[in-house]
Amino acid sequence: MSFQFEILHLDALSSARCARFSTPHGTVETPAFMPVGTQATVKGISPQQVEQVGAKMILANTYHLALRPGSEIISSLGGLHRFMGWNGPILTDSGGFQIFSLESERTITDRSVVFRSHIDGSVFDLSPERAITIQEELGADVMMCLDHCPAADLPAVEQADAVRRTVIWAQRCARAKRRTDQALFTIVQGGLHKQLRSDCAEALVDMDFSGYALGGLSVGETPEQMYEIVEFTTPLLPQNKPRYLMGVGRPQDIVEAVDRGMDLFDCVMPTRNGRNAMAFTSSGNLRLRNRCHRDDDRPLDSQCNCMTCRTFSRAYLRHLFQAGEMLGPILLSIHNLAFYQQLMRNIRSAIGQGLWREWCRQWKKDYLGLE
């Protein structure tokens, strides 16, 4: 059996859990954070460096790769793993998120979503079946069903329509799937409406997917609203399947979601913020452009063992950003990804040792400065 999800520890006082997710390209200890490689590259970082920061599984994007270079090209070159030189597990997002993020460039019907390409204006018609065909050409370990991801603030009637469409599309995706060496995850929508989340989860659980994602979060709602929906929805999902909170998020969001039972995460934040001179550290975030760092010989984070922290001072990193040198974004992306991976290791270790809630309390104190 290519895919297994084996629960190793269940926390006694929360919904937090540790598990081992096996895929054809390797095993992922969860809770896990997946670096984002939308266009078949984690921005600015070689696959070797992605491995060195400790990441096991990464993300790529169906919509973007279908438009450029095209999934048939990637397929003819041996699939996405070979194309991008990453031999670990990969998950491909389906394009559902682009229904939200490229709202002005698409028309949605029950049949499909028709995009005007953000590259050259050409028409790209993405049906649930096409999303599966493309993802089978890409050959990632985990495919996502095409879903309808709406903005968080849409009225209930539109959220309900997105749920209805997401459920129909999930069924069509499951039927379209041919390859047996790829897992298919589905996505629970429903915005901030508990009844819709519940309806959506119930319908999708009946179809028995290999994994369940929460979508439509981190799209404009407050963190507290997000935590509430996660807390409400997680118990509706199968205990013995991976749960994936899409597009989340800040370190504190991940900690809160793990506490509520989520296993997998992805977010552009470590790389995007890194490119913008913001470093995550165990004692809070640093803005490297600030003048206070100009002659600071310390590493970004004395608790971090990444290549950036082993080699360079804050003063040098600031210099790179001030001088507009590419190495600044590269080194901060590496550090931030390493920070996220270290965070996940600490989370797994705390759960495994039965110290989860105590660890959380100390972590918030250190990272957020909360007592």
Q: How far apart are the first and last CA of the chain?
A: 46
Element (H, E) at 59: strand 58-61
- Per CB under 8 A, the list member of 326, 355, 368, 370 interacting with a copy of itself is 326
- In this structure, what DSSP letter does residue 117 have? P
- Tell me how far CA of residue 151 lies from CA of 59, 165, 247, 291, 366, in angstroms: 22, 15, 14, 38, 33
Binding flags for a copy of itself, 167-206, as an x/- string (CB under 8 A): ----------------------------------------
As measured in angstroms, the least distance from the Cβ of 87 to a copy of itself is 10
CA nearest neighbour of 64 among 148, 139, 135, 166: 135
* Per-residue binding letters, 285-314, with a copy of itself (x by CB under 8 A): ---------xx-x---------x---xxx-
Output 20 or 68, the one with its CB closest to a copy of itself. 68
> Tokens for 36?
């984002």
Distances (CA, A) of 72 to 82, 98, 172, 267, 336: 14, 21, 22, 27, 33
Q: What is the spatial distance between Cα 139 and Cα 200, in angstroms, rounded to a whole number?
A: 27
Stretch that binds a copy of itself, among 79-87, 103-111, 281-289, 351-359 (CB under 8 A): 79-87
Residue 249 found at the interface with a copy of itself (CB under 8 A): no
The CA distance from 205 to 201, in Å, is 6
Of 72 and 202, which has the nearer Cβ to a copy of itself? Answer: 72
Count of beta carbons in the 10 Å neighbourhood of residue 183: 25
232 beta partners: none
Instruction: Give the shortest CB-315-to-a copy of itself separation in angstroms.
Output: 6
Binding status of residue 88 toward a copy of itself by CB under 8 A:
no
Contact 187, 213 (CB under 8 A): yes
Token representation of residue 156: 């209930």
CB of 345 to a copy of itself, least distance (A): 23
The only residue of 12, 178, 323, 369 in contact with a copy of itself, by rule CB under 8 A: 323
Active site residue 266: yes
How far apart are the C-alpha atoms of 236 and 273, rounded to whole Å? Answer: 34
Least CB distance to a copy of itself at residue 203 (A): 37
Which three-class secondary structure state does DSSP give residue 155? coil
Q: Which residue type does 124 have?
A: F
Residues of this chain, 9-48, that bind a copy of itself according to CB under 8 A = 39-41, 43-48
Stretch that binds a copy of itself, among 16-24, 94-102, 185-193, 319-327 (CB under 8 A): 319-327
Number of residues binding to a copy of itself, judged by CB under 8 A: 39
User: Where do contacts with a copy of itself occur on this chain (CB under 8 A)?
Assistant: 39-41, 43-48, 64, 68-69, 73, 76-78, 83-85, 294-295, 297, 307, 311-313, 315-316, 318-320, 322-323, 325-327, 329-331
Residues labelled catalytic: 93, 266
